[in-house]
Amino acid sequence: MKLAIGSDHAGFEYKEKLKQQLSNQHEIKDFGTYNTESADYPDFAHPVSAAVENNEFELGILVCGSANGVAITANKHQGIRAAICWNEELASLARRHNNANILCLPARFIDFGLAEKVVEKFIKTDFEGGRHATRVNKIIC
């Protein structure tokens, strides 16, 4: 699977660890940031979102302190359904019911071991379609 990944400074450490682990099984493109210096989350959320929206990548992962900033930014893109997930059940529901295509992780609120499990669940879960597709199709303005 082709995955786009990005973070601000607060999510940098998690992004780097996730990138390293995921690269064993997936094609990964890192859209930054590339260090822990203060950075603006839209500078990374927009390129990840555009890459997923344009079907260059199947899914995206964005990491910041609360996940709110990257989720708000990503969801400005018409073809993006970014979901903040802090446990495996939310990751599964985001994929199954909402066809979420970008996972947003709150690095300051979950430990890395849980973040790994959330990412795995998000990647491995498929969209159910059916009645959920009808709802998802009503999202675009």
Catalytic annotation, residues: 64, 97
Torsion over CA of 40, 45, 47 and 52, rounded to 10 degrees? 180
Cα(52)–Cα(85) distance, integer angstroms? 18
Per DSSP (E only), the strands in 1-141 are 2-7, 27-30, 59-64, 82-84, 102-106
Q: Give the three-class secondary structure for 82.
A: strand
Residue 40's Cβ-side half-sphere holds a number of Cα atoms within 13 Å equal to: 5
DSSP structural state of residue 37: S
16 closest CA partner among 116, 93, 92:
116
